[in-house]
Structure 1
Amino acid sequence: MKANNQKQKSKRSMIKKSVTAVMVLNMMYMSALPVVSHLDPTVATFAAGTTTASMNIVGTGSVNPPSLALRSAILIEPSTGQVLLSMNPDEPLPPASMTKMMTEYIVAEQVKQGKLKWTDKVTVNDNAAQSVGSRIFLAKGDQHTVEELYIAMAVGSANDATVALAERVSGTEQDFVKLMNETAQKMGMKNTYFINATGLDRKDMPEAFQPNTDRETVMSARDAAILASNIIKDHPDYKRFTTIQSYKFRPTDKAPIVNYNWMLEANKNITNFKKFAYPGLDGMKTGHTSNAGNCFTGTAERNGMRLISVVMGADSEPHRFTETAKVLNYGFDNFEVKQVVAPKTVVKGVENVPVTKGTETEVPVVTKDAVSFVVPKGASNPKVTFTTNITPASSLVAPLKQGAKVGTITYTYKTDGSDKGQVKTVDLITTTPVEEGGWFRMLFRAIGHFFGELFQGIKNLF
């Protein structure tokens, strides 16, 4: 009996819906105003969320890293940020003249932004003239161009040239230090603190210009790699300076400044340095104080892959370079960068996304950028998985331009036996524009949706 009553109620409900539908239809046709009462059914049923799939990359297993006699070390591939080797990478340690990489970055930024010119003259003040350690013996009142001082800093690690540039940018070295620390924070350098532009210990700075703090400059190996990575990314012309083997600062100087970086590839023809020369190496910065030991941030490129290495606390100049060679060899011998997704790739299962109020109800999408991962050479069955996050249909309202962002896709790469994977997120963008649909098109789309639901309900009764 209850079943019959339920069936009768359902039929009465459907009759009411049919009558209502006719009334609504008449009202819509009689109205002179545009009416959009429902979305396309595709849009209504497509929810924002995630989709997962996987693809195979041919590759190999793990390899043992070299033994290192250092306080700290790291090796990264900068385009992906992947760490390939690390040894105590996050301990804040005295970086010595590797500090100058931040001074180099900021001065290069000033030039890039038009706030400085390489040809601008810099007047030397007391702080620079009184600097000790590695220097080019600047005197108060001397004038040199930004470029001349920059070369002296990058090649000869000149403390006086570095201070002169810092004061040219910010007025005082300590105001420049504030900019250094702010820039470090923006770069994500979490274990770094600067007290000067040079990397000198506080006690070795001119007394009148020592900061009012008992802190010293510190930087972790990871942060040094991050800083070098930003130099490479934002100032790819860094090699114009870092590969200079020697430089005569003044025409009257008896001898030129010799680059402290013995590993430059060009040194393969220099008798004293050829045993340290490393194929593809073109930067970045050495450092040495009694507290820091011997440090070196190096970068080299082979077969299209660039690596950045940092070694801290080596016990001699030659040792920092032989340890760097071991670290870089580990990277180049065992890894390679592979593009796993090309730019403008159609993602299986997410070929189209719904659009509201458009001439079309959906739009085709592709990845905006390429996706690459560092892959062990010869690794077996590594997999790449992806997860999509699509913007809700209610927020994708026409008109949409070609190339409009409609969501993101995150790829994760993990090798066999590895707990952590590499992750890269790129945008999903439209391949064609979508024009705004007219009210008449929206009206009939809404009517079609309404009756589609109605007839589906009637069908389910039988």
Structure 2
Amino acid sequence: MPLAFLSKRFVAAVVLASFVLLFGFSSYASADELPAAPQLEAQSAILMDAESGQILFQHNADEARPPASMSKMMTEFLVSMAVKQGRLSWDDKVTVGENAAKQIGSRILLAEGDQHTIRELYIALAVYSANDATVQLAEEVSGSEEEFAKLMNETAVEMGMTQSHFINSTGLDRADMPEKFRPTSIEGETTMSAKDAGILALRIIKDDPEFLETSKLQEYKFRPRDKEPMKNWNWMLGSNKDNATLRKFAYEGVDGLKTGHTTRAGQNFTGTALRDGTRLIAVVMGVPGTTEQGKRFLETARLFDYGFKSFEKKTIIEAKASVPEYETLKVKKGKSTTVGVVTATDFTILIPKGVAVEPVVQEVKPTEDPLVAPIAQGDKVGTVTYKYKDPSTQEEKTATIDLIASEEVNKGSWWRLLFRAIGNFFSNLFQGIVDLF
């Protein structure tokens, strides 16, 4: 082989090595390459942005599975809504009935005839996942647990939870319910998909953010006479960093939401974490192992790590930006025949680091065509719809943003409008003559 050729190869290798030493390799080989997704020991899972609902990761996310106590998120939501609507009060004192007293599993050992406030029962539900407290709350809302389950199903449909079905307020299997209180008008077992659990969690965070103040409690003493307080089953709470036993599960920013476990369901968890202004929702279902092993929390931590470390918020459409080819819209009866328009708000999504997203204008729709003067600066004058490809799911998405006037257009004087009309008449007449030939 010629010496000159070897020299060229040697020089090229040295130059390449120098670039690697100085700058390192890029995290991603191209703008379309995504960060490696986590490998999970879960039958299904999803990771979502809690602000927009954007999906960052999913695995069998539409598969309907037994959620166990994660279904109590719907109970929590409906109880809170009943309070907000004035149908219940947190300070209402209620008497425990037979159904609640006969519940099994995680419970606060309510006896028939006991009296407690709605708030006390709600905390027992949120912190300790107490089945007896859950059932009593359901009966307070709807009169019976079966009627409450119907409300759960109606609400699931309204929320767009397409793979969910509830037969009770707790998530217990039918066989584990007190026989006398098993539903007769609702068939099957309770099921929910990871995606539906994420949708429900998103709704709770948006409509009932106060819930997180309850779900993040590490413990709560239900009765003054109780020797020990209830311990929160959510071992991922960021506050557990100082707990010697649970420190390895604690995750900075976690303040909710709900665990779930039965033999049929496996280990389930819907968690949410807030870091640096970004809140994520993670759901894992069907994780193997025992509750004591805490593997569902370790798997959730993998999802959170993936979301917080691999993604960044980027504004792909700026506020007060003009729209290419639609910088102005037509106006009639104004001093000017057009008005400048810009976007009213920006549009921000989570994007894998190193990946570019280029939105394309799909449609511009004026509030009326043409617009009619007078128009004040800042008035809404229409909408613009962009389309883009979601970098995580590769799905085609759209975003619609209001358009506002960037300038004022006063109403034209009758004299100006008259001469404009005359000019338009002759212009159209001349064009009609030209078209004849």
TM-score scaled by length of structure 2:
0.84
Gaps of 5+ in 1: 1-57
- CA 1:432/1:61 → structure 2, altered by over 3 Å: closer, same or farther? same
Q: Aligned partners of 1:279 and 1:272: how far apart in 2?
A: 16
> How far is the alpha carbon of 1:127 from its aligned partner?
1.7
Q: Deviations over 1:20-43 (max 9, x none)?
A: xxxxxxxxxxxxxxxxxxxxxxxx
- CA 1:60/1:166 → structure 2, altered by over 3 Å: closer, same or farther? same
8 Å contact from structure 2 (residues 57, 393) kept in 1 = no
> How far is the alpha carbon of 1:447 from its aligned partner?
2.3
Equivalence for 1:369: 345
- CA 1:168/1:396 → structure 2, altered by over 3 Å: closer, same or farther? farther
Q: Aligned partners of 2:88 and 2:343: how far apart in 1?
A: 38
Q: Aligned partners of 2:169 and 2:346: how far apart in 1?
A: 37
8 Å contact from structure 1 (residues 356, 394) kept in 2 = no
Percent identity of equivalent pairs:
51
Q: Aligned partners of 1:126 and 1:346: how far apart in 2?
A: 65
Equivalent residue letter for 2:121: L
Q: Aligned partners of 2:328 and 2:244: how far apart in 1?
A: 62
- CA 1:327/1:419 → structure 2, altered by over 3 Å: closer, same or farther? closer
8 Å contact from structure 2 (residues 56, 307) kept in 1 = yes
Q: Aligned partners of 2:411 and 2:116: how far apart in 1?
A: 60
The reply to whether residue 109 of structure 1 matches residue 81 of structure 2 is yes
> How far is the alpha carbon of 1:429 from its aligned partner?
3.6
Correspondences of 1:166-205 after superposition (within 5 Å): 166-205=138-177
Query: Partner of 1:103: helix, strand, or coil?
Result: helix
Query: Partner of 1:355: helix, strand, or coil?
Result: strand
Q: Deviations over 1:337-393 (max 9, x none)?
A: 2122344443333232223455653333332332112111133x4423232331375
Correspondences of 1:98-247 after superposition (within 5 Å): 98-212=70-184, 213-247=186-220
8 Å contact from structure 2 (residues 330, 369) kept in 1 = no
- CA 1:434/1:382 → structure 2, altered by over 3 Å: closer, same or farther? closer
> How far is the alpha carbon of 1:167 from its aligned partner?
1.4
Equivalence for 2:295: 319
Q: Aligned partners of 1:223 and 1:312: how far apart in 2?
A: 12
Q: Deviations over 1:179-210 (max 9, x none)?
A: 21111111111100111111111111122211
Equivalent residue letter for 2:312: E
The reply to whether residue 347 of structure 1 matches residue 323 of structure 2 is yes
Q: Aligned partners of 1:395 and 1:182: how far apart in 2?
A: 43
The reply to whether residue 281 of structure 1 matches residue 257 of structure 2 is no
- CA 1:418/1:313 → structure 2, altered by over 3 Å: closer, same or farther? closer
Q: Aligned partners of 1:77 and 1:345: how far apart in 2?
A: 25
8 Å contact from structure 1 (residues 118, 146) kept in 2 = yes
- CA 1:396/1:177 → structure 2, altered by over 3 Å: closer, same or farther? farther
- CA 1:399/1:182 → structure 2, altered by over 3 Å: closer, same or farther? farther
Query: Partner of 1:296: helix, strand, or coil?
Result: strand
8 Å contact from structure 1 (residues 181, 194) kept in 2 = yes
8 Å contact from structure 1 (residues 59, 375) kept in 2 = no
The reply to whether residue 293 of structure 1 matches residue 266 of structure 2 is yes
Equivalent residue letter for 2:300: T
Q: Aligned partners of 1:443 and 1:177: how far apart in 2?
A: 68
Larger radius of gyration: 1
Equivalence for 2:380: 404
TM-score scaled by length of structure 1:
0.80
Equivalence for 2:312: 336
**Cα RMSD (Å) of the superposition?**
2.7
- CA 1:295/1:362 → structure 2, altered by over 3 Å: closer, same or farther? same
8 Å contact from structure 2 (residues 100, 131) kept in 1 = yes
Larger mean Cα displacement after TM superposition, 216-225 or 358-367 = 358-367
Larger mean Cα displacement after TM superposition, 419-428 or 237-246 = 419-428
Relative contact order, CA 8 A, sep 6+: which one is greater? 1
State the aligned residue count: 403
Q: Aligned partners of 2:393 and 2:95: how far apart in 1?
A: 55
Query: Partner of 2:88: helix, strand, or coil?
Result: coil
- CA 1:441/1:202 → structure 2, altered by over 3 Å: closer, same or farther? farther
Q: Aligned partners of 1:383 and 1:409: how far apart in 2?
A: 13
Q: Aligned partners of 1:122 and 1:438: how far apart in 2?
A: 71
Q: Deviations over 1:114-139 (max 9, x none)?
A: 33332222332222222221111222
> How far is the alpha carbon of 1:165 from its aligned partner?
1.3
Larger mean Cα displacement after TM superposition, 263-272 or 362-371 = 362-371
> How far is the alpha carbon of 1:397 from its aligned partner?
4.7
Q: Deviations over 1:391-450 (max 9, x none)?
A: 3754745566754352332242455x9843443222324456767767666544432311
Aligned with 2:65 (options 70, 74, 93): 93
- CA 1:200/1:436 → structure 2, altered by over 3 Å: closer, same or farther? farther
Query: Partner of 1:132: helix, strand, or coil?
Result: coil
8 Å contact from structure 2 (residues 367, 381) kept in 1 = no
Equivalence for 1:22: none
Query: Partner of 2:210: helix, strand, or coil?
Result: helix
8 Å contact from structure 1 (residues 345, 367) kept in 2 = yes
Equivalent residue letter for 1:176: F
Query: Partner of 1:114: helix, strand, or coil?
Result: coil
